[in-house]
Amino acid sequence: MRRMKRDPEKFGVLELFSALARVNNLKLDSDQDLIQFGKITLNSLTTTRRADTILHGKRVEAMFAYIAGALGRCRLIKTEDGGDLFVSGLPMQAPDYRLVLHDGTVMLVEVKNFHFTSFDECFSINENYLETLERYAEAQGLNLKVAVYFSRIKMWCLLSRDAFVRTGKCFTITVLSAIAKNEMYTLGDVSIATLPQLSLELMGDSDNANEIDINGDASVTFKTAKLFCDGNELLDELDQRIAFYLMKYGRWRQSCQPIIDNNRLLGLLFTSCPDEVPSGQPFAIVAEMSSMISQAYSEYTVANGKPIAIDVIGDPDEFSLCIPLNFNSTLLPLWRFVLHPNPNFIDTYFEPLGPVGTSSKTRT
Give one DSSP letter per residue of 216-272, joined into a string.
S-----EEEEEEEETTEEP-SHHHHHHHHHHHHHSSSEEEEEEEEETTEEEEEEEEE
- Contacts from 234-239 at CB under 8 Å and sequence distance 24+? 234/331, 234/332, 235/331, 236/329, 236/331, 236/332, 238/324, 238/327, 238/329, 239/329, 239/331, 239/332
Backbone angles phi, psi at 340, to 5 degrees: -95, 155
Report whether 225 contacts 202 (CB < 8 A): yes
Bridge pairing between strands 143-150 and 106-114: parallel
pLDDT at 350: 60
- Give the integer Cα–Cα distance in Å for 362 and 364: 6
Q: How many residues does the chain have?
A: 364
Band of the pLDDT at 356, cuts 50, 70, 90? very low
pLDDT at residue 12 greater than cutoff 50:
yes
How much of the chain, in percent, has pLDDT values that exceed 90? 69
Q: Is residue 7 predicted with pLDDT exceeding 90?
A: no
Q: Where is mean pLDDT largest: 46-55, 100-109, 165-174, 220-229?
A: 100-109
Residue 120 clears pLDDT 70, i.e. is over it? yes
Residue 228 has pLDDT above 70, yes or no: yes
CATH of 51-189+344-359, one of 3.30.413.10, 3.40.1350.10, 1.25.40.10, 3.30.750.24: 3.40.1350.10
- Three-state DSSP state, 357: coil
Average pLDDT (133-156) is 96
Residues 138 and 130 sit within 8 Å (Cβ to Cβ): no
Per-residue pLDDT of 269-293, as tens digits, reads 999 999 988 788 899 999 999 999 9
In the chain, which residue ranges form alpha helices assigned H by DSSP? 13-24, 31-48, 52-71, 127-140, 175-180, 237-249, 289-301
Which residues, other chains included, contact 264 with Cβ-Cβ below 8 Å and sequence gap of 6+?
A: 209, 210, 211, 212, 218
Query: Residues 121-137: pLDDT tens digits?
Result: 899 999 999 999 999 99
Residue 301 has pLDDT above 90, yes or no: yes
Going from N- to C-terminal start, the domains of the chain cover 51-189+344-359, 191-337
pLDDT exceeds 90 at position 241: yes
pTM, full prediction: 0.88
Q: Which of 207, 243, 200 is nearest to 225 (CA)?
A: 200
In degrees rounded to 5, what are phi and psi of residue 290?
-60, -35
How many angstroms separate the CA atoms of 259 and 114, rounded?
A: 41
The mean pLDDT of the chain is: 90
Cα 61 from Cα 294, distance rounded (Å): 12
